[in-house]
Amino acid sequence: MKITKKLTFGILSAAALGVCASSAYAKTDLSLWYHGAGNGVEAKIINQIVSDFNNSQDDWNVSLESFPQGSYNDSVTAAALANNLPDILDVDGPVMPNWAWAGYLQPLMLDEAMLTDFLPGVKGYWDGQLYSVGLWDAAVAMVTRRSTLDDIGARVPTLEAPWSAQEFNDILAKLKATGKYDYPLDLGMAWKGEWFPYAFSPFLQSFGGDLVDRSTYATAEGKLNGDAAIAFGEWWQGLFSQGYAPGNSQDPADRDTGLLEGKYAMQWNGNWAALNTLNKFGDDTLFLPAPDFGNGSTIGAASWQFGVSAASKHPQGASAFIEFALQDKYLAAFSDGIGVIPAKYSAAALTENYKEGGAMAVFYELSKAQALVRPVTPGYIVEAKVFEKALADIADGADVADTLDSAVDEIDSDIQKNRRYGH
Amino acid sequence: MLRLDADNPRLRMTVRYLVLTLIALMFVTPLVFMMMSSLKPDQQLLADTSSMRAFLPVGDISFDNYKAAFERAPIGLFMLNSLFVTGITVALGLFVCSMAGFSFVFLNWRGKSIAFSIILATLIVPFETIAIPMLLMVSKLPWLGLDGFSWGWLNSYRVQIVPFVADGLTIFLFAQYFKDLPKELIEAARVEGCSWWQVYWRVVMPLSGPILATAAILKFLAMYNQYLWPIMVTQQEQYRPVLVGLQYFFQLNTAWGEVMAYLTIITLPVLVFYLALQRAFIASIASTGVKG
């Protein structure tokens, strides 16, 4: 009898311990989609974050699925249609409003106070709510050599005093007159797609135009085909007709190596390509702000950011992961690993290139001072493609006013078809 | 001395070979460029593009790009996935489509003409227009597997195979080929007591080598080059095919040497498959050309 009692007590105790143990380890699974497949450095960092997060608490277990960047957006769209979205996904900043509007995303459950010292471009707001936040930003600059400018007696512009339109055009003319270069300026016309609106719409904005009227987001009329936009278009066309920049048929190989080989005197390029130039030209390298065409010097902003899918049943856990990933050490790890600009200053201070006095610190300052996010509207993905085509056509010699009018018609038609995208 | 008139057979032969050589070069040079570039470091590869060096194994030659490509992506997995999906689809497709073609040509059944017209009509419908309805359909289909009953076919091999087993072009090719087979042969087999299955399997199929090769090559290429559909239905790396894998190599600073190495690797099965079947393929094309 005694033995039976003891046995029963033992079995019950073991069962109770088993229940306790299993409940202690019963983590809720969260799925995470990330766009970095094929990039070993990026994979190592994101895997480390996931592993650290999973080990840091007992409530959630994140599993990562990486996608190649080139097909990532299509995969997400298809998954949304098939009701197969993960809990957490990353999204390109300018695309975020479209995904939020389409119902792919839900607002983050983050204390926004923790983002006060983040760069403006990494915070993804739509309809007054925070939908995404990035661990880094990207920036573009006019890349050249001090010796190149000295050669033609040009001053080195600063954030406070960028080149004026007249100054910039004179510099292009002088560089061309030297006869040393195939072209004075490489804009990166070999790169298609998002590069066009990201890199070139700041020029349009500096002229006083834009892709769409941001006060209403209901039309592009007057913004993309007004006097300022036409002035921009004529200047843009002149770059190619006067032989200042290679056009649409630029060889991608020249885009990669033209500046380094001396074919081009200046290059409009991003921070991701800066290390190659620094390695080649060392202290002679200059990263300069965009020219001011009358309405200030601006550059594009917003890169990849984390968001929570609308399908997630565990937004607290998903947001907890994102909050965990926003630690300085991870921001710095991404920066050191893939050259991106850390999302905040305290993280930049931990990095090799963006700390004060670092070789690429100027990009952090450019992002902080001049970044202007692309139009925050679901219609951006259409506006971007229309803008790209218009710029390519104008570069090929199309009539500026007619081309911009057609672009406005196309954008306005899309906005109307989609009932103003909820604006 | 070479006479410059059209009756000179040597001149005609020379011109013919010259033209054929030029045409052959047009097709071969991209492959040579790809293979040679896969052996060069990026800087040299880009520098060589503006000269004939791009087609020659000169300079700093190594297999480093291949090593790096294997480190960047699970190439073996992607190749196995593609070959498995393609192989099964081609095998099943040849069987199903040839039976369909046989049925349209030799069997009499009500609605045959309308059914054949509908199948022909599918040839003018681009896949992109039906991709989304297909996605919605396969995401809700039931399946009974080793691990029990489940709903939805996403992230599987079957979702990449089953929708493409039968296709209008292959059925049409088989039907056209079967129409030209001697009717007497079929009638004789029937008189001798063959069932329709025996006619199909023992009489018609043994005579269908050229069309089997043609259909196999066309279907192999279509399946091996699948890109849009796998992107839509495979969210897990373990099911991705080679063309989706190609995207792994396009980063902010694309490593072109690795891209070329990867392309060389994934092109090899296509070349091997074509070379193995080219004699029958050419025979089929030639016989199609002399008809009528």
The pLDDT profile of chain A, 423 residues, written as one tens digit per residue, is 444 555 455 554 544 444 444 444 689 999 999 999 999 999 999 999 999 999 999 999 999 999 999 999 999 999 999 999 999 999 999 999 999 999 999 999 999 999 999 999 999 999 999 999 999 999 999 999 999 999 999 999 999 999 999 999 999 999 999 999 999 999 999 998 999 999 999 999 999 999 999 999 999 999 999 999 999 999 999 999 999 999 999 988 899 889 999 999 999 999 989 988 999 999 999 999 999 999 999 999 999 999 999 999 999 999 999 999 999 999 999 999 999 999 999 999 999 999 999 999 999 999 999 999 999 999 999 999 999 999 999 999 999 999 999 999 999 999 999 999 988
For residue A30, the tally of other CB atoms under 10 A from its CB is: 25
B231 touches chain A (CB under 8 A): yes
Could you state, in order of their start, the residue ranges of all structural domains in chain A? 29-138+303-373, 140-299+379-422
Comparing CB atoms, the residue among B135, B136, B251 nearest residue A38 is B251
| Inter-chain contacts counted by CB atoms under 8 A, chains A and B | 79
Name the closest residue on chain A to residue B141, using Cα atoms. Answer: A82
Q: What is the pLDDT of residue A8?
A: 53
Which bin fits A66, alpha (ψ -120 to 50), beta or left (φ > 0)?
beta
Contact A374, A214 (CB under 8 A): no
Residue B115 CB-density burial (10 A; 0-12 exposed, 13-18 middle, 19+ buried): middle
A19 phi, psi to nearest 5 deg: -60, -45
The first and second tokens of residue A369, run together, are: 């001072």
Rounded distance, CA A333 to CA A341, Å?
A: 11
**Cβ pair A37:B248 closer than 8 A:** yes
Q: What is the pLDDT of residue B283?
A: 76
Domain for residue B275, yes or no?
Answer: no
A41 touches chain B (CB under 8 A): no
Residue-wise pLDDT for B135-154, tens only, equals: 999 999 999 888 889 999 99
Domain for residue B38, yes or no?
Answer: no
CA distance, residue A83 to nearest chain B CA (Å): 8
For residue B21, the tally of other CB atoms under 10 A from its CB is: 11
Q: Is the dihedral of CA B112, B116, B117, B122 positive or negative?
A: positive
Q: What is the pLDDT of residue A18?
A: 46
Residues of chain A with Cβ-Cβ distance to B49 below 8 Å are 251, 253
Question: In which residue are the tokens 């396969």 written?
Answer: B138
* Residues whose CB falls within 8 Å of the CB of residue B39, separated by 6 or more in sequence, listed in order: B57, B61, B62, B63, B65, B257
Q: What is the pLDDT of residue A21?
A: 45
The first and second tokens of residue B210, run together, are: 């050229």
Q: Is the ipTM of this complex over 0.90?
A: no
Contact A355, A361 (CB under 8 A): yes
A257 touches chain B (CB under 8 A): yes
CATH class (in words) of the domain with range A140-299+379-422: alpha beta
User: Reduced to 3 states, what is the DSSP secondary structure of residue A44?
Assistant: helix
Smallest CA-to-CA distance from A87 within A269, A259, A354, A309 is with A309
Comparing CB atoms, the residue among A69, A71, A82 nearest residue B231 is A71
- A206-225 as b/e, with b when 16 or more CB fall inside 10 Å? bbbbbbbbeeebbbbeebbb
A70 touches chain B (CB under 8 A): yes
Per-residue three-class SS string for A365-377: HHHHHHEEECCCC
What domain range is B88 assigned to? Answer: 73-249
Distances (CA, A) of B217 to A116, A355, B276: 60, 58, 10
- In degrees, rounded to 5, the angle at the alpha carbon of residue B215 between the alpha carbons of residues B209 and B219 is 145
**Quick one: pLDDT band at residue B286, thresholds 50, 70, 90?**
low
| pTM of the full structure | 0.87
The first and second tokens of residue A82, run together, are: 């098939």
Best interface-test mutation with A: which of B247, B254, B258, B262 has the largest number of A CBs within 10 A? B247
Would A29-138+303-373 and A140-299+379-422 be classified into the same CATH topology? yes
- Amino acid sitting at position A198: Y
A275 touches chain B (CB under 8 A): no
Domain for residue B220, yes or no?
Answer: yes
**Cβ pair A40:B72 closer than 8 A:** yes
Domain for residue B68, yes or no?
Answer: no
Domain for residue B265, yes or no?
Answer: no
Q: What is the pLDDT of residue B291?
A: 45
- Amino acid sitting at position A177: A
Q: Is the pLDDT of residue B280 over 90?
A: no
Rounded distance, CA A262 to CA A293, Å?
A: 27
For residue A100, the tally of other CB atoms under 10 A from its CB is: 24
Q: What is the pLDDT of residue B2?
A: 52
CA distance, residue B227 to nearest chain A CA (Å): 9
Q: What is the pLDDT of residue B7?
A: 77
Domain for residue B287, yes or no?
Answer: no
Residue A94: DSSP 8-state: G
What is the architecture of the domain spanning A29-138+303-373?
Answer: 3-Layer(aba) Sandwich (3.40)
Strand A123-126 to strand A105-106: parallel, antiparallel, or no bridges (unpaired)?
unpaired
Number of domains chain B is built from: 1
